Structures are given as structure tokens and as C-alpha cells.
Amino acid sequence: MHTRVLVVSLQAALDRRERFAARASENILPFEFFDAREELIPTLSYEPSMALKEHGRTLQAGELGCYSSHYAIWTQLISDEEYDQYIVLEDDIIADWRRLKQIAEYPFAADGFHYVRLYQKSPARFIMLKKRFINRDLKLIRLLDSAYGTQGYVITRDGARAFLESCRQVRRPIDDAMDRWWAHGVPNLALFPFPLIEEAVSSGIGTARFDACDAKTTPASHRAFRRRERAARRLATYGLLLRDLATRLGLNQ
């Protein structure tokens, strides 16, 4: 099992890179900086009108760059013959490198786990999949709600292919797109406890984007889309919960 660790970082963000490298100075797990994109890459398509309809606002340049960065990483993975899976990190995280090394040695694809979060910004309902995963302390859960953030995750080649197909049209921030398991079919899995945390530094994307989210100015097309989106997610969630209940009761054996 070969795992590549990529740290998404703006090429000019030298201070962040120095801080990250200093925290990882024990050399427990090799990593590489991946130069973050600062604009939309040609393989992606972005229509502001569709973002306004589905997300309620247009995306800022930093969000398009972030989207492009992760899309470029997935594109690289599917043609990377040397590595089976990637661990993708942001440069403003503080990691438990010994735990990450254990995670890097686990063959996720062999067990059908193609995308696994290592952190989430928002609490979310979940289904317990494995109470002991990789070691006795880690748990594998399946998230039912949006968890937000791309601070860290594991992705396999199959996971990358699925995201490349479903995320080609840019209509929302990349973490929102990845969270939509009911739409693209990639389970939103996560490890708990998290092997990393987010450093308290200013976001490179900024927070001004949230100022545009005013319910009074939200277009009617977005409100209608959100109603349909919630209905689809609710239906898919009920299905998952029923299957989980049947499994625990032994009804599907």
C-alpha cells in the first residue's frame, strides 16, 4: 500500500509552509506541498447563474481556486501509477502524525472505502460503521448531514474518479459538492476522533462570501432548489437509517 500525502498550499504562502513543516519535523510521514490553484482550471465549467440558483450566491475567486486545487489533485491521482491513495491536507492544520501514519498504511480501497474525512467543521448526524477501525481507538462513521471543510481527507482512485465525474460543473464550493452523497453516491465517511485540527488563522478565501447570504435577497429559484434538495437528502437519509436498523436487528441476513 502506497499513500501520497499532499498539502494544499499557495505557492506564495511561505509563512504557512514554514509553520507546517516545523510541526511535521519528526519526519514520521513524508509529505509534499501541492501548489494551490488561484483560478478556475480549464477542465471545469462555471456558470454564475447556476451557482446563484443552486447555492444562493456566486462563488468568489478564492473558492474557485480551492475547487480547482482539489479537482487537479483528483485528476493527478487517477493517473498516478506509483500511489494507490492520497491523503490530502490543508496547510493550516495541526496533525497527529503518528495517527496519520497508521491511516496511511491502511488499504481503504480494499474494503470499499473510497473517501474518508479526517476532520469536519460542523457537527452532523452519523451512522456507526466500525467501532474499532485501524486500531482500537479509531471509529469509522458515515455522516448523514453536511460536515463542511476540506482540511483533511483520504481518497482512493475510485473516489477520485467519482468526484471528477460529479463535480465537473462548478455550482457550489468544493466541500459542499463533496458532502452531497445523496446526489453523487460517494458515502461521506469520517474517522473519529479526528487525527487533526484546524489552526486558528485567517482563511485564505476570506469570510466576505457569507455576507451575501441574505434570505431577503435569495432568488426564488434558489429557494425552490433548496426545497427539492432537502427532500432528496431526507429521502436518501431515511433509506440509510432503515437499512442500518435492519442490519442491527439482523433482518437483512
Q: What CATH number has the domain bearing residue 144?
A: 3.90.550
- What integer best gives the mean pLDDT of the chain? 93
**92 pLDDT higher than 60:** yes
The mean per-residue pLDDT over the stretch 91-110 comes to 97
Structural domain harbouring 141: 3-249
> For 49-77, how does the pLDDT look when each residue is reduced to its tens digit (9 = 90+)?
999 999 999 999 999 999 999 999 999 99
The mean per-residue pLDDT over the stretch 76-101 comes to 97
Distance (Å, rounded) from C-alpha 153 to C-alpha 73?
A: 12
Distance (Å, rounded) from C-alpha 116 to C-alpha 128?
A: 14
Helices (H) and strands (E) in the chain, counts: 8, 12
β-pairing, 93-95 vs 196-198, is antiparallel
> For 123-150, how does the pLDDT look when each residue is reduced to its tens digit (9 = 90+)?
999 999 999 999 999 999 999 999 999 9
> For 155-172, how does the pLDDT look when each residue is reduced to its tens digit (9 = 90+)?
999 999 999 999 999 999
More confident residue, 253 or 134: 134
Contacts of residue 156, Cβ cutoff 8 Å, sequence gap at least 6? 84, 85, 108, 109, 113, 114, 115
Supply the pTM of this predicted model. Answer: 0.92
Count of domains for the chain: 1
144: left (phi over 0), alpha (psi -120 to 50) or beta: alpha
